[in-house]
Amino acid sequence: MKSRYLIIVALLVFIGGVTTASTAAYAAPATSSCAGHVGSSALTGSIGGAAYKIEVPINWNGTLALYSHGYVFPGQPNPATDVGDPLTGAALLSQGYALAGSSYSSQGWALQQAFQDQIALLNFFDQTCGHPFRTIAWGHSLGGIITAGLAQLFPNRFSAALPMCGVLAGGVGTWNQALDGAFAFKVLLADPASQIENLPPLPIVNFNPDPTQLSNELNEAEGILGAAQGTPQGRARIALLSALGDTPGWFTPTSPEPAANDFIDQEANQFDWASQVDFPFLFFGRAELEGRAGGNPSWNLGVNYFEQFAKSANKQEVEALYKQAGLNLAQDLAALNQAPRITAKPQAVQYLAKFITFNGDLDIPVLTMHTTGDGLVVNQDEQAYKSAVDEHGDASQLRQIFVSRAGHCAFTPAETLAAFQTLINRLNTGRWDHSTDVNLLNQEATALGPSFNVFSVGGKLVPTPSAFVSFRPTVFLRPFNADHDGH
pLDDT score recorded for residue 14: 37
∠ Cα 333 335 339 (to 5°): 125
Q: Pick the closest to residue 70 from 245, 360, 281, 217 (CA basis).
A: 281
Please report, for residues 180, 297, 340, 486, the alpha-carbon distance to residue 305 in angstroms, rounded to integers and kept in the order given. 9, 20, 13, 15
Judge contact between 138 and 68, C-beta under 8 A: yes
pLDDT at 15 over 70: no
Sorting pLDDT into bands at 50, 70 and 90, what band is 485?
low
Distance CA 320, CA 184 (A): 18
Distances (CA, A) of 110 to 68, 105, 120, 264: 11, 8, 15, 37
Q: Is residue 54 reached through a cis peptide bond, with omega within 30 degrees of 0 on the bond before it?
A: no
Spell out the domains of the chain, with CATH numbers in brackets: 2-167+358-469 (3.40.50.1820), 172-351 (no CATH)
Task: Say yes or no to pLDDT of 486 above 50.
Answer: no
* Continuous H helices in 344-379: 346-354
Amino acid at 213: Q
d(CA 361, CA 392): 6
For the chain, give the percent of residues with pLDDT over 70.
Answer: 92
Q: What is the pTM of this model?
A: 0.93
- In this structure, of 18-32, 106-120, 225-239, the range with the lowest mean pLDDT score is 18-32
Higher-confidence position of 252 and 18 = 252
- What percent of the chain stands above pLDDT 90? 86
How much is the pLDDT for 19?
Answer: 31
Helix-strand-coil percent breakdown of the chain, rounded to 5?
A: 45, 15, 40
Phi, psi of 162, deg, nearest 5 = -130, 80
d(CA 315, CA 417): 35
Closest CA to 100 of 157, 25, 156: 157
Q: How far apart are CA 167 and CA 356, in angstroms?
A: 10
Mean pLDDT of all residues in 353-373 = 97
CA atoms in the 13 A half-sphere facing the CB of 128: 18
pLDDT in tens, 365-422: 999 999 999 999 999 999 999 999 999 999 999 999 999 999 999 999 999 989 998 9
- Which residue type sits at 67? Y
- Residue 416 to residue 57: CA distance in whole angstroms: 21
> Backbone phi, then psi, for 377, in 5-degree steps?
-115, 100
